[in-house]
Structure 1
Amino acid sequence: MTTIAEEMNTLRLRRLKILDDYHQAQGRLRRGVDALLREVDNEIRQLGDRSSSLPCLVRCTPGPSLTVYHSADAPCGRVHDRRNFREMPEVEAMDASPHVYLERCTACYWRSAATTHGKRLLNA
């Protein structure tokens, strides 16, 4: 014959098992949703990066000849004063110099810029 204390302990253990199973299932579900959202965010970044309307900055002041354009959303430290730059879509920035085909600045944070631009396109 079991005592009331033993029955209460059995019920307590059942209750803890139910709660533990619930929390484990919630954790699996959360990790699954997080993985799916990361995939979508990665696709948003890729589409933002491929978009011809990705905003860029091209220097418009006298100085050394132009070779690069910068990100308008995530510029590097070489962009001190945005008034010295014209903002334009990337497709136009590539051909902004009459002498040479401009390339992306390697110091700018293009991954971040592509994410920002992709989210802007998503919310438009």
Structure 2
Amino acid sequence: MSFADRVQALRLRKLKILDDHNKRIQKLQRALNSELSEIDREISQLGDASARLPCLVRITPGPELTVYHSADVPCGRVHNRQNFKVMPEIDAMDASPYAYLERCSACGWKRAAKIHGNHLIGEV
């Protein structure tokens, strides 16, 4: 085997080792991302199922209350937070003496559930 052939063989071995290593790293990264996504989904479910999810209920005079808003990801209808009282969702549902309140459909409840779930497990 000539000198040039030996150099080429070593170069190819090195490239194969690096390529194999890179493929293993990518496989591990995909597995890690998959597991973390599953945990994030479970955290969101935990936050959404919590009766302590922080909500905003309007306390100023105006139209009859029908909805409460997310305290963490409110919609555009929440202009001034001073017009709202922060309370857990379980209390927000019964905050009106006239009607059972529901979640505002414009608020970001999925993101709010994830934020609240992270608070519940002690992350920020």
TM-score (norm 1): 0.98
By how many angstroms is 1:74 displaced?
0.3
Distance 1:47 1:118 in 2: 6
Residue 107 of structure 2: aligned partner: 108
Residue 76 of structure 1: aligned partner: 75
Gaps of 5+ in 1: none
- Provide, for residues 79-109 of structure 1, a one-character-per-residue CA deviation record: whole Å limited to 9, x for no partner: 0000000000000000000000000000000
Distance 1:74 1:120 in 2: 14
Distance 2:111 2:42 in 1: 13
Counterparts of 1:16-55 in structure 2, within 5 Å, are: 16-55=15-54
What is the one-letter code of the residue matched to 1:16?
L
Runs of 4 or more consecutive aligned structure 1 residues displaced over 2 Å after TM superposition: none
By how many angstroms is 1:58 displaced?
0.1
Distance 2:80 2:107 in 1: 15
By how many angstroms is 1:46 displaced?
0.4
- Helix, strand or coil for the counterpart of 1:123? coil
Residue 14 of structure 2: aligned partner: 15
What is the one-letter code of the residue matched to 1:45?
S
By how many angstroms is 1:24 displaced?
0.5
Distance 2:9 2:104 in 1: 66
By how many angstroms is 1:8 displaced?
0.8
Residue 98 of structure 1: aligned partner: 97
- Provide, for residues 44-76 of structure 1, a one-character-per-residue CA deviation record: whole Å limited to 9, x for no partner: 000000000000000000000000000000000
Distance 1:115 1:79 in 2: 20
Let me know the Cα RMSD of the aligned residues: 0.7
By how many angstroms is 1:15 displaced?
0.4
Gaps of 5+ in 2: none
The percentage of counterpart residues that share the same residue type is 59
By how many angstroms is 1:36 displaced?
0.2
